[in-house]
Amino acid sequence: MILHENELTAQQYCDLWTAVGFPAPTPEQAERALANTLYAVSVEIDGGIVGMGRLVGDGAVVVYLQEVFVHPSYQGQGVGSAVVRALLDYIKRTKPSQGTVMVGLLAAKGRESFYHRFGFHSRPNETEGCGFLMKL
């Protein structure tokens, strides 16, 4: 397993969207998304990119894990965990020395327990309301 930093191509990005069952963004969307990414990690096995994850946000107060995708043939083999660890390590290395960075994500249905293992908690809870999403 080889981890690459900020080397993901638009084609690899779109291919992983399709592999996990989501409709891929357009090539223009993929290029713009990658250009505006704070940090991206991809995982190579046997010469192919089989997993990825991105960070988006301001890099100081709020950062979101986006598109933690692992090709179905490689799920359950530690690829997703390696991606999330790399993303969280980047946040820890680059966050301001003072203050707290809020790290958010939207988990695919049924994948919530994967993120709980890293210390993420679900909303709503006693102190935090629901998260929201709108597609335009």
With vertex at residue 58, the alpha carbon angle to CA 56 and CA 59, rounded to the nearest 5 degrees, is: 85
Does 92 fall in a domain? yes
Q: What is the mean pLDDT of residues 61-73?
A: 95
- The predicted model scores a pTM of 0.91
- Residue 101's CATH number: 3.40.630.30
**pLDDT tens for each residue of 24-50:** 999 999 999 999 999 999 999 999 999
Position 17 scores a pLDDT of 96
Does 129 fall in a domain? no
Which residues lie closer than 8 Å to 84 by C-beta, 6 or more apart?
Answer: 53, 65, 68, 115, 118
**pLDDT tens for each residue of 79-121:** 999 999 999 999 999 999 998 999 999 888 888 899 999 999 8
Q: State how far the Cα of 126 lies from the Cα of 129, in Å rounded to an integer.
A: 8
> Which segment of 59-63, 77-81, 121-125 scores lowest on mean pLDDT?
121-125
Does 10 fall in a domain? yes
Domain that holds residue 24: 2-116
Domain count, the chain: 1
